[in-house]
Amino acid sequence: MKKIIALTLMIVTVAVQWQGCTKPEETGTIYGTVTDFDTGEPVKNANVTLIPSGETTLTGSDGTYMFQDLKKGDYSLSLSKAGYKDLVDDYLIQLAAGKSVRRDVQMKIKSLRITDMNGEDINELDFGSEGDDVSRIFNIFNDSGETISWEIITTANWIESPETGTSGTLQAGGNKGIVVKIDRSKLQQGDNTTTMHITSNNGNQQLTIKARRTDVSTLDATAVNSNSAVLNGKINTNKPYSEKGFYYGTNHNLSNKVVVNGSGTGTFSTQITGLSGVHAYYFKAYCIIDGECIYGEEKSFGPVVTSTFEFNGHTYMVAPDPHTSYNQYISWSAANSYCENLTCWGYSDWRLPTIEELETMYQLREAIGGFIRDTSWCTGGIWHNYHSVYHSSTVGSYYTYHYYVEWNSGSVSNNVDIEISGYCAGYAQQYAHVRPIRVAD
């Protein structure tokens, strides 16, 4: 009986001991090296905390650290060291059982910082193009644990020497406001960029300074309607100029020019007419100084009118006819190519309409800007006073179909719609008008 009891106790003791041990293959290791962000040198004696377990360790002389016997799961690191910025590493370390994962991190030393008036780090001051914007302020902040010496170096002649000085010292945690002023009269036309170097015995920083000189500015168009608009510009310099005005057009070539009379600085305007409300227009102001033509930025307006119609449950957009008079016909291949290469209202997927779509367009002609009416055309031995022929994509047994729209036959006084028909393109009808369309929904 005693032997049975002793054997039972031995079995229970072994079981308890086995349950109290974690198998080596069920744990993992996280290790790595901590280095200086700027120099790449190891950072020794940095405090490394494992999140979420809270375990801590110090890096060795070679910057290495290690956490062993960790349960599988997700971890991250938090680091701190005197003279360095605290670091919370946002990288998620996914540790599997029996695995080792390396995570190297870099720490930044506390040193010279460039900030705005709110204490936010900055690397740029942009003065823009406004003539009265000539002064900005930034702060030099000593983020290190010791006194530093600093100096400002810049080479651009349009940067004035700071009234607050170009060198000095800062106690640990101290800051110095620096006023930067520019001389716009020394700027080159267009964009001007220079680099201001702020050096110290505990780190260097760079600040990009930008300014733009625009002797002439393009302002937004006003009084825009379906056939006219007012273009606006502004002269920003006291230099004498020989001419001012605008270039404009329906594309970026801006092939139309209008000269505006008058002299002096400030705003100037002119009205342009004969526009098409279905086109976007691009324009820019200009002036000529010492024989050089100087431009403002390009702006745009329109289109004012966008033509659409409904057909078979879809909404279609209709681009304007590229021609404006009855005798400006083009061939079917030219019309098809025109549609395929057209960019209008920002879209480039235009095509020729089918005959059925053209018929719907005719029924809704007022909503889409109408069709061009041609005069004195003879078909079948009958003279028609008003009619029009438009290309379609529908293909018949002979040639590609056109679509024929007739407004008036015989006497002009009738002035009624009497015929809407499609027909094969013969020799006399191989040229016609074109109205490109696209599905808008």
Distance CA 441, CA 435 (A): 19
Neighbours of 122 (CB within 10 A): 16
Instruction: Using the predicted structure, report yes or no on whether residue 175 has a pLDDT greater than 80.
Output: yes
Residue 89's nearest CA partner among 77, 71, 75 is 77
Question: Which residue range(s) make up the domain with 82?
Answer: 2-107
Over residues 251-305, the pLDDT tens digits come to 889 999 999 999 889 999 999 998 877 678 999 999 999 999 999 999 999 877 6
Which has the minimum average pLDDT: 55-64, 271-280, 296-305, 377-386?
A: 377-386
Contact 417, 407 (CB under 8 A): yes
Residue 23, CA distances (Å) to 18, 74, 97, 149, 374 in order: 9, 20, 10, 57, 95
pLDDT at site 367: 81
- Same domain, residue pair 295 and 359: no
Average pLDDT value for residue range 5-32? 59
Instruction: Using the predicted structure, report yes or no on whether residue 9 has a pLDDT greater than 50.
Output: no
The Cα angle at residue 54 between residues 51 and 57, in degrees rounded to 5: 100
pLDDT at site 404: 54
- Same domain, residue pair 145 and 182: yes
pLDDT at site 305: 66
**pLDDT over 90 percentage in the chain:** 47
* Residue at which a domain ends, from 258, 286, 301: 301
Residue 329's nearest CA partner among 428, 232, 258 is 428
Say how many domains are in the chain: 4
Q: Concatenated DSSP letters for 276-309? A: -TTS-EEEEEEEEETTEEEE---EEE-----EEE
Residue 106's nearest CA partner among 170, 40, 51 is 40
**pLDDT over 70 percentage in the chain:** 80
- Same domain, residue pair 312 and 435: yes
Instruction: Using the predicted structure, report yes or no on whether residue 436 has a pLDDT greater than 90.
Output: yes
pLDDT at site 343: 82
**From the centroid of its chain, how far is CA 29?**
45
pLDDT at site 88: 94
Average pLDDT value for residue range 335-361? 87
Distance CA 390, CA 330 (A): 10
- Same domain, residue pair 204 and 231: no
- Same domain, residue pair 332 and 433: yes
Residue 271, CA distances (Å) to 153, 184, 189, 224, 327 in order: 50, 32, 28, 10, 30
- Same domain, residue pair 49 and 117: no
Instruction: Using the predicted structure, report yes or no on whether residue 186 has a pLDDT greater than 60.
Output: yes
Instruction: Using the predicted structure, report yes or no on whether residue 411 has a pLDDT greater than 50.
Output: no
Which has the minimum average pLDDT: 92-101, 175-184, 225-234, 359-368?
A: 359-368
Instruction: Using the predicted structure, report yes or no on whether residue 75 has a pLDDT greater than 90.
Output: yes
- Same domain, residue pair 316 and 424: yes
Looking up residue 199, the CATH number of its domain turns out to be 2.60.40.10
Instruction: Using the predicted structure, report yes or no on whether residue 418 has a pLDDT greater than 50.
Output: no
- Same domain, residue pair 28 and 129: no
Instruction: Using the predicted structure, report yes or no on whether residue 137 has a pLDDT greater than 90.
Output: yes
pLDDT at site 192: 94
Between 395 and 11, the higher pLDDT residue: 395
* Residue at which a domain ends, from 159, 180, 213: 213
Helix, strand, or coil here: 56? strand
* Residue at which a domain ends, from 107, 132, 160: 107
pLDDT at site 376: 53
Q: Which neighbouring-strand residues pair with 348?
A: none
pLDDT at site 152: 93
Instruction: Using the predicted structure, report yes or no on whether residue 43 has a pLDDT greater than 50.
Output: yes
Average pLDDT value for residue range 331-355? 87
Helix, strand, or coil here: 4? helix
pLDDT at site 414: 36
pLDDT at site 434: 87
pTM reported for the whole predicted model: 0.47
Distance CA 316, CA 299 (A): 28
pLDDT at site 24: 53
Residue 412's nearest CA partner among 440, 373, 381, 366 is 373
Contact 109, 86 (CB under 8 A): no
- Same domain, residue pair 339 and 435: yes
Instruction: Using the predicted structure, report yes or no on whether residue 110 has a pLDDT greater than 90.
Output: no
- pLDDT category, 374, cuts 50, 70, 90? low
Which has the minimum average pLDDT: 103-107, 158-162, 247-251, 376-380?
A: 376-380
Neighbours of 378 (CB within 10 A): 9
- Same domain, residue pair 316 and 432: yes
Instruction: Using the predicted structure, report yes or no on whether residue 412 has a pLDDT greater than 50.
Output: no
Instruction: Using the predicted structure, report yes or no on whether residue 1 has a pLDDT greater than 80.
Output: no
pLDDT at site 396: 57
- Same domain, residue pair 371 and 421: yes
- Same domain, residue pair 311 and 435: yes
Which has the minimum average pLDDT: 62-66, 115-119, 144-148, 163-167?
A: 144-148
